[in-house]
Structure 1
Amino acid sequence: MLTPEEVAHYHETGQVTPNYRLGDEVVCAIKEKMEAHFATTPELDLNGSLRYAPPATSQFTDCLIETDRTWLDYAIDPDILDAVSQLLGNDIIVWASNIFCKEGKGDKATPWHQDGLYWPMRPLRACSVWIAIDHSTPDNGCLRIIPGSHKEQRALRHGAGNSGQRVLWPSDQTIQGADMPDVDPVDVVLEPGMVSLHDVFTIHGSAPNASGERRAGLVYRYMPASSHYDRHLGAKLGGPYPEGSHMSPERSAVSELHLARGVDVCGLNEVWQPNA
């Protein structure tokens, strides 16, 4: 799926938008499935939407596959797995599934952060795949990355901010001071069905969405099966996240590991076999 140039771009910048998109029928099915999910799951305000995000303007839900196995179908799309395998190797585990939805009614910004600060896999290697459900533009708060910020493959210092205009963590966690690279951010502009892939150490965030247009994306997290998803480590890592958050210790305890391709090279992961 990825050309040699796209693979090189990923390794250079920490993100790539390949020349590929899901078909219109697939995107329509995902959109309808998402809207039905939010409409029929009112408890999302407690367990899905981040509690410190205004549910009327911004929705987040986690554990999609754990609550409905049919969400796994999109995660194991052969074209997507081909792309991930070019970046992580041929033995791949899907370990998380999320929807990020900004309704466009004055949503807050998402701070500059790295995904893997409290992710309990060692070695810490992972790739996130964002599937655009709606148009994603600078006006409606598209994903933004700091190119090259992944190259040292290390977790940077995060701390509490005080802007009051950020959402994702209760204490306004963001990368601090000198740890933030002096590099211009890049907007990841997507049309429905387009896909973005980014590295676990890539610094990213998003601006508020006051456009009046919804911006929703379906996100899957992949790790190489050579890494160990250590649930005990997840409980120790903790972090400033409330119960129900996709980065809480509770989340790491219930995460299902689906062996999407290959074998569990590590031998320590409790994996499910899709379609087994």
Structure 2
Amino acid sequence: MSTHTTRGLSPAQVETYRTDGYVVGDGLFQPDTFVALKDHFERKLAALPEGERPEDMDVPHFTDPELFRWLLDPDVLDVVEGVVGPDIALFTSHFFCKPAGDGKSVPWHTDGYFWRDMIEPAGQAMTIWLAIDPSTLENGCMKVIPGSHTSGDGDYRQVSDDNSVFDEELDQNQVDAGRAVPVQLRPNQYSIHSGALVHSSEVNRSALRRCGFTMRYISTRTRFNHDGIGHKHQIFLARGKDHAGNTYADPDRAHPELVESRGPGQNFVGAQR
């Protein structure tokens, strides 16, 4: 397990993020805080209803307010502030767990494509990808194409692969997979990436589980469109003040109605399957 080292991003890390669209950091949480998060996740995983895939643990904070202990942790928000500024909203979160042996793949995409009806510009949202387990080439770590966040939107096509979590992917003619870089992480290491960065991950055929906790944030200068999506969603004020006239939900209570509104076939924020 990596140890806690610094608060926030260094100027060099911010510059790398601006240039490459992603950067890796070490020790996001204090060690005891990370262990508490991992234990919390293990309990949630053990309680999954029969037949529900562990890759589908999206928006868990809507029904589990205890997760705001980590989502609004000052160490996390210090990292976010280095990218989006001092006024921050929590956009969404997701435990993405690929079980050993049959963990699903994620095709080449940008997150912003799936958020285009929710926030504008969608590519300015950022994700912290925290490793709960070791994330390696063997068990299907994320792969990124450095600098692709500056290329603009591409064309998407349908995916029929049952091993994929999405049914859309970037057209392969627009993906220079030969430039892909694996983002391999130890537990409590993290990467951050732009909503416009092209990335993917492969199936997990290994004997090792791969779980990450994605925490996604936007500047409060970004307008959230409550009416532009087919289900209810809410953002939460994380730090600073609002600048866009957004409405924020209460992090001190559960919001099961938001999950219920999504209905079948809407497993991920902004993504229809």
Task: Please classify the TM superposition score into its range, dividing by the shorter chain length.
Answer: 0.7 to 0.9
1:145 is matched with which residue? 144
One-letter code aligned to 1:263: K
Is residue 2:194 matched to residue 1:217?
A: no
For residues 1-276 of structure 1, what are the structure 2 equivalents within 5 Å?
Answer: 1-42=8-49, 45=51, 49=52, 55=53, 58-119=54-115, 120-124=118-122, 125-152=124-151, 154-162=152-160, 164=161, 166-169=163-166, 171=167, 173-181=168-176, 183-234=178-229, 249-250=230-231, 253=232, 255-267=233-245, 269-272=246-249
**1:131 touches 1:219 (CA, 8 Å); kept in 2?**
yes
Aligned counterparts of 2:182 and 2:146: Cα–Cα separation in 1: 10
Cα drift, residue 165 of structure 1: 6.0
Question: Runs ≥4 in structure 1, deviation > 3 angstroms?
Answer: 272-276
**1:260 touches 1:274 (CA, 8 Å); kept in 2?**
no
**2:104 touches 2:165 (CA, 8 Å); kept in 1?**
no
Aligned counterparts of 1:136 and 1:118: Cα–Cα separation in 2: 24
Q: 1:165 to 1:13 in 2, by over 3 A?
A: farther
Cα drift, residue 139 of structure 1: 0.5
Cα RMSD after superposing both structures: 2.0
Q: Which moved more, 1:21-30 or 1:214-223?
A: 21-30
1:52 is matched with which residue? none
One-letter code aligned to 2:40: K
Cα drift, residue 73 of structure 1: 1.3
One-letter code aligned to 2:164: V
Aligned counterparts of 2:131 and 2:34: Cα–Cα separation in 1: 8
Identity %: 30
Q: Which moved more, 1:205-214 or 1:177-186?
A: 177-186
One-letter code aligned to 1:131: L
Q: 1:95 to 1:182 in 2, by over 3 A?
A: closer
Q: 1:177 to 1:105 in 2, by over 3 A?
A: closer
Deviation by residue 1:207-229 (Cα, 9 ceiling, x = unmatched): 11111111101111101101111
The TM-score normalised by the length of structure 2 is 0.83
User: How many residues matched?
Assistant: 243
Cα drift, residue 20 of structure 1: 3.5
- Structure 1: where are the runs of 5+ without partners? 50-54, 235-248
